[in-house]
Amino acid sequence: MTTITHVVKRSGATVPFNSDRIMNAIYRAAVAVGGRDRDRARWLTEQVAVLLSENSPPGYVPHIEEIQDTVEKVLIENGHATVAKAYILYRDERNRRRRDAADKAARPSGNIPWAKIWHILDWAAAHNVHTITALNERINKGEFPQIVHEAEAAYEDDVTTAASLITERRDDLKMVIISGPSSSGKTTTTIKLEQRLEREGLKFVTLNVDNYFFDLEMHPQDEFGDYDFETPQALDMALINMHLQMLSAGEEVRTPFYDFKTGKRHLERTVMQLAANEILLIDSLHGLYPPMTEGIPDEMKFKLYLEPLLQMRGPEGYIRWTDLRLIRRMLRDAEHRAYKPQQTLEHWHYVRASEMRHIIPYHGTADFVINSAMPYELAFYRARLFDLFAEWAVGYKDDPLREDAYTRAMRVYKALEAVIPVEDETAVPLDSVLREFIGGGNLPSH
């Protein structure tokens, strides 16, 4: 029987065979349909390895597609048709995205809020920050504080508009949901929005959705041992939905508490009930994900979507929003979570994969979109992280297991290389959304 030692990726690169990748793919598919038996996933993985070995001649290196076909076969033959279906659907979705990437320039993406983008681009051109070259020209003229002021004012206008829309619906609302992908500035925006609405006489009760995480041992992992907190399946969506429905009806619930130090959830820890004049405030990555609030009438929900929708052209095209958020998270993780920037970069494929499936596609269901991008933030990132991206652009170049990290590192390196660095942060307001990531803010904890 042949022992499989290597596998051919879709890119053509040959990499070591790692059964943990198979196990985690199976476990993820199981989690998607409500299963969390890691031992069973491990046993099924062993069956996949045996079948591959039995059907391969000596020295044979299978293609990734062959391995995935074998996974489907093993799942079905061992009575896991539902898990197999989830695995097949996810596989088909990934293949579709790869096909779509070939002609994305010919078709507008449904994942982009085009109307909002037009207004942001118009604003950027009017303020001469629509390209890195234009930004550099203004910095060289000594206009950096003015750029900061203009950008902050545009963001504050968005928050004020959102507050006004919520106030108009105050008699029917039971919850305000602030959602958006990682590092889009939800914490700061939630605080600012709450401050404005309290001045209008609205009273809020905050629900911390993080307390609904399943125990850490039940989370999917990758072959590097990295846990995936980004997927909505990491949360007990059924319990969240039940509690939200009960709270909307004025009923009492007992919410759980999640201990991040131990990775354990403790049920029924905190009593919560909404008074007649109170509104639930929810800050969550997955606030727009339908299973979270299904069964609750739309008129009871105000859904806000947040993302740094920067409209600035760099040396190789427009700056990607996901790259801005990656840098923001690097800074925040290093400051608050003792997480090295390199670890954030290597984990980002999880973040991106989950948000493309479970967050960004639902932006169209939001009642309002806030742009949290600051055109000036790239100048700070050049001063803080440029040298690291230069190292990664070289270090990951020939590592087939880190293709995603290399692509992102090289792209950000080239963008930051073109920006004039700014180290002095005194022009940035202490309550700026950017302070959430660069530190030095004065907003209360939330």
What whole-number distance in Å separates Cα of residue 374 and Cα of residue 148? 8
Residue linked to tokens 């990726």: 9
Q: Is 30 helix (H, G, I), strand (E, B) or coil?
A: helix
**191, 196, 201, 202: CA torsion to nearest 10:** -40
What whole-number distance in Å separates Cα of residue 169 and Cα of residue 175?
Answer: 11
For residue 228, pLDDT over 90 is answered with no
| Closest among 346, 84, 394 to 225, alpha carbons compared | 346
Contact 111, 361 (CB under 8 A): yes
Q: How many CA atoms lie within 13 A of 106 on its CB side?
A: 5
Geometric angle at alpha carbon 158, from 380 and 208, rounded to 5°: 80
| Structure-token match 């009492």, residue found | 252
Domain at 114-438, CATH homologous superfamily:
P-loop containing nucleotide triphosphate hydrolases (3.40.50.300)
Q: For 330-362, how does the pLDDT look when each residue is reduced to its tens digit (9 = 90+)?
A: 999 888 777 899 999 998 988 888 888 889 989
Distances (CA, A) of 121 to 110, 262, 311, 379, 427: 18, 46, 5, 19, 24
> pLDDT for 170-212, tens place per residue?
999 999 999 999 999 999 999 999 999 999 999 999 999 999 9
DSSP line for 255-299: EEEEETTTTEEEEEEEEE---TTEEEEEE-TTTTSHHHHTTS-GG
Model confidence pTM above 0.75: yes
Q: Which pairing describes strands 6-8 and 264-272: parallel, antiparallel, or unpaired?
A: unpaired
> Minimum mean pLDDT among 73-77, 226-230, 305-309: which range?
226-230
What is the pLDDT at residue 267?
94
Dihedral (Cα; 184, 194, 111, 155), 10-degree rounding: -70
Q: What is the DSSP letter of 55?
A: T
**Lowest-pLDDT choice from 77-81, 178-182, 256-260, 359-363:** 77-81
Calpha distance 319→309 (Å, rounded): 10
Could you tell me if 318 and 312 are in contact, meaning their C-beta atoms sit under 8 angstroms apart?
yes
* pLDDT at residue 243 in the model: 97
Query: Does the pLDDT of residue 13 top 50, yes or no?
Result: yes
Select from 192, 214, 195, 213 the least CA-distant residue to 203.
195
Q: Beta strands 175-179 and 301-307: pairing type?
A: parallel
Number of Cβ atoms within 10 Å of the Cβ of 153: 9
For 240, other C-beta atoms within 10 Å of its C-beta total: 24
Residue 87 pLDDT class (50, 70, 90 cuts): confident
Q: Mind giving me the DSSP string for 185-254?
A: SHHHHHHHHHHHHHHTT-EEEEE-GGGGBPPGGGS-B-TT--B--SSGGGB-HHHHHHHHHHHHTT--EE
Q: So where are the chain's domains?
A: 6-106, 114-438
Q: Work out the average pLDDT over 372-394.
A: 95
Look at residue 101 and tell me whether its pLDDT is greater than 50: no
d(CA 147, CA 143): 6
Please indicate whether residue 380 or residue 276 has the higher confidence score (pLDDT): 380
